[in-house]
Amino acid sequence: RATLLLSRCLLKMVKGNIVVPEEILSFCCNGLQGSTSLPRAREPGEREEAPGAMASPSPARNPTEVQMSQLVLPCHTNHRGELSTGQLLKWIDTAACLSAERHAGCPCVTASMDDIYFEHTISVGQVVNIKAKVNRAFNSSMEVGIQVSYEDLCSGKHCSICKAYATFVAQGPSGSKVKLKPLTPQTEEEKIEHSIAAERRRMRLVHKDTLKDLLTRSPRETELETRDGSAAVPAEKTRVESVELVLPPHANHQGNTFGGQIMAWMENAATIAASRLCHAHPTLRTIEMFHFRGPSQVGDRLVLKAIVNNSFKNSMEVGVCAEAYGQEMSVSRRHINSAFMTFVVLDEEGRPRTLPMVAPEPGDGERRYREASARKKIRLDRKYVVSCKQTEVPLSVPWDQSNKVYLSYNNVSALKTLVAKANWALAREKEKVRMYTLEEDKFLSFRIEMSVCIAASRAFSLLSDLRRRHEWDRHYVSAELVQQVDDDDMIYHVVSQTLSCENKPQDFVILASRRKPCSKGDPYVVAFRSVTLPTHPASASFTRGETLCSGFCIWPESEEASKVAYYNQATPGYLNYVTTNVAGLSSNFCATFEACEKFLLKNKEDLIVRLQDL
């Protein structure tokens, strides 16, 4: 509003033949789309900032943080006066790329983007606020976290739009990869994101295998849904093919087609395909995780192909791919990117409308139809298992082979989040054992730690096998390995001698997830949480217990010493036991951990003896 008022004043000055400085005129002409701060005089020797909406970070801010504010103008909107999702994707990619390059100190390219769930639309006249910062740097790639919100200048209302995670790769001369310097998180939030970034990276790498595994176990036959009053629309009628010529304005500072521009073109083609099915104007709700397979340059022709893969009752999935070729048509096209977008059609009250059915084409069309159903399940798993807040996760979740990746992710990330929390307070100390507590609104968590003269890798191997826990933890009677999910995840049925209020022993079905360090400074992690297995229902002989978040973190202190810490977010059934130890009325925790140390040292010596015998 301030910019508009200033523009009106300047217009009156011009009409009155009053000379207006060129810098002020330039600001009024170009400042509407970006930051609305007046230009200031630069100090001698100060470098000129590039034009745009990005402000330099203050000393207290993460040095990789980029903040961008964009005023939504009519040229950015669709027919409803709402911000085009393609334009928003360009702004998101720009902010994320600038953040990545701040850390890398060299050009960066978009490698992938995780699922994006758009919660609200943005209207013309509102301001889009984007904040991007690097969560973690790996070898030559880094994860950038992006938060998008809108601001209504008239009412002062702020609302979240989406949260996204993008992976960028640093590139040196001639496209060579650059080894990145590590990033040191400072705040509690940054430490949590830094720790969980390794788990998100692991999930990305197995994404394709998860889809293949789900399809392998699904019926081969394509079953068309029956919907009252609706005839199936042949998928072929929704097909779209469009070509774009990559011009200099579409390229980044390296001469490659800007990733955000490619995403915007893909969104445009997908929207047309969705419109051909519903004969209405659809709204984009979700973009699935996708990867850029290769670059394209100025002068390339980009062919965008889109088709509706499957139509569910209130939503549809559109598959879209981008291929590039040069001036010579004889040269084979290069596959640049593929994406899957979910659209809905809203009625006047903002509720999703029932959509027509899709009749897939034989062959590849039926394959895409089945894959769309599998992706819908995976999207729901990721959204409600991975993205939900910790307080919204039930204590015990149903175990399913198809969602194993996301339950494992949730298991490890919950423990890493607990570890990274601030405000742990020392509650008790007995010789080498220290007990800390963390009091939050809904949970009381505790941590017990000590230093042990054993290699961290050996302690990790011993403590991750629940079948041996009864050797040092008197609360454990037995632990049966029910399912070896993979090398890093196991499910156990545990019997405890701790009596419940019903005067019966407790049993647990526990998912144990192991992780070795991703980089130097990371701990070995063994995370536990309860799951539900149809093969092991609750029995009348036991009281079924549950654990929400617990496990071990083991940090190497030297080649032959490590710090071992046990964490537990106390559930109601465990709370009395915890508070009794915290208050000093019992020393069970300390005694148990001392027994754990003896177990580790004993087995360390056994290992040395066995190696000497060999």
Query: Going from the N-terminus, what domains does the chain have, and what CATH number goes with each?
Result: 66-216+232-382 (3.10.129.10), 393-603 (3.30.530.20)
Amino acid 463 reads L
Cα gap 89→585, rounded to integer Å: 57
Q: What is the pLDDT of residues 332-363, one digit of tens each?
A: 889 999 999 999 999 888 888 999 999 999 99
Residue 397 pLDDT level (bands cut at 50, 70, 90): confident
Q: What is the mean pLDDT of residues 203-226?
A: 66
State residue 194's pLDDT score: 92
Listed range (48-52, 360-364, 506-510) with the worst mean pLDDT: 48-52
Cα gap 265→261, rounded to integer Å: 6
- Cα angle 203, 207, 209 (rounded to 5 degrees) comes to 120
Residue 479 has pLDDT above 50, yes or no: yes
Cα gap 519→194, rounded to integer Å: 11
Residue 226 pLDDT level (bands cut at 50, 70, 90): low
Contact 444, 437 (CB under 8 A): yes
Whole-model pTM: value is 0.74
Residue 223 pLDDT level (bands cut at 50, 70, 90): low
Listed range (192-196, 248-252, 379-383, 402-406) with the worst mean pLDDT: 379-383
Percent of the chain with pLDDT over 70: 79
CA nearest to 427, candidates 555, 543, 316, 581: 581
Residue 579 pLDDT level (bands cut at 50, 70, 90): low
Residue 571 pLDDT level (bands cut at 50, 70, 90): low
Residue 46 pLDDT level (bands cut at 50, 70, 90): very low
Residue with more model confidence, 54 or 79? 79
Amino acid 462 reads L
Listed range (43-52, 62-71, 484-493) with the worst mean pLDDT: 43-52
Q: What is the mean pLDDT of residues 263-267?
A: 95
Based on the number of CB atoms within 10 Å of its own CB, is 559 exposed (0-12), middle (13-18) or buried (19 or more)? exposed
Q: H helices then E strands: how many in the chain?
A: 11, 25
Count Cβ neighbours within 10 Å for each residue of 73-100 and write b for 16 or more, e otherwise: eeebbbeeebbbbbbbbbbbbbbbbbbb
Tally of residues, the chain: 614
| SS3 of residue 497 by DSSP | strand
Residue 500 pLDDT level (bands cut at 50, 70, 90): low
- pLDDT, averaged across the chain: 82
Q: How many CA atoms are closer than 13 Å to the CA of 578, on its beta-carbon side?
A: 21
| SS3 of residue 13 by DSSP | helix
- Cα angle 307, 313, 314 (rounded to 5 degrees) comes to 80
Instruction: Work out the number of other CB atoms within 10 angstroms of the CB of residue 396.
Output: 20
Residue 422 pLDDT level (bands cut at 50, 70, 90): confident
Based on the number of CB atoms within 10 Å of its own CB, is 594 exposed (0-12), middle (13-18) or buried (19 or more)? middle
Beta strands in 443-536 (DSSP E): 444-452, 476-484, 489-499, 505-515, 524-532
